[in-house]
Amino acid sequence: MIKVLTVFGTRPEAIKLAPVVKHLERDPRFACVTCVTSQHREMLDQVLEVFDVVPKYDLGVMTPGQTLADVTARVVQKVSEVVASEHPAIVLVQGDTTTTFAAGLAAFYHRIPVGHVEAGLRTADKYQPFPEEINRRLTAVLADYHYAPTEVGRRNLLAEGIDDRRILVTGNTGIDALLMARDALRSGGTVRSGLADRTPDVDGRRVLLVTAHRRESFGAPFEAICDALRRIAERNPDLAIVYPVHLNPQVRRPVFERLGQCPSIHLIEPLEYLSFVRMMDRAYVILTDSGGIQEEAPALGKPVLVMRNTTERPEAVEAGSARLVGTSTETIVSAVQHLLDDAGAYQQMSGARNPFGDGRASERIARHMLDVLRTDGGRA
By CB neighbour count within 10 A (0-12 exposed, 13-18 middle, 19+ buried), where does 304 fall?
Answer: buried
Question: What length is written for the chain?
Answer: 380
Which member of 246, 266, 278, 364 is catalytic?
A: 246
- The pTM assigned to this predicted structure is 0.83
Interval 3-52: pLDDT, tens: 999 999 998 999 999 999 999 999 999 999 999 999 878 778 888 988 99
CATH architecture, range 198-350: 3-Layer(aba) Sandwich (3.40)
Asked whether the domain spanning 198-350 has the same topology as the one spanning 2-171+360-376, the reply is yes
Domain boundaries, the chain: 2-171+360-376, 198-350
Active-site residue, 110 included = no
Cα 380 to Cα 376: distance, rounded to the nearest angstrom: 13
132 is catalytic: yes
213 catalytically annotated: yes
Annotated catalytic residue: which of 11, 74, 86, 118? 118
Single out the catalytic residue among 13, 132, 272, 289.
Answer: 132
Catalytic: which of 23, 122, 154, 213? 213
Domain 2-171+360-376 has CATH 3.40.50.2000: yes
pLDDT digits (tens, 9 = 90+) for 158-169: 999 999 999 999
Confidence of residue 193 (pLDDT cuts 50, 70, 90): very low
246 is a catalytic site residue: yes
191 compared with 329, residue with greater pLDDT: 329
User: Would you give the DSSP letter of residue 112?
Assistant: -
Catalytic residue among 166, 206, 215, 231: 215
Q: Which of 13, 96, 289, 296 is catalytic?
A: 96
Average pLDDT over residues 128-146: 96
* pLDDT tens readout for residues 292-332: 899 999 999 999 999 999 998 999 999 999 999 999 999 99
Establish whether 23 is a catalytic residue: no
Give catalytic status of residue 281 as yes or no.
no
Over range 257-269, report the average pLDDT: 92
DSSP string for 285-349: EEEE--HHHHHHHHHTT--EEE-SS--S-HHHHHHTSEEE-TT-HHHHHHHHHHHHH-HHHHHHH
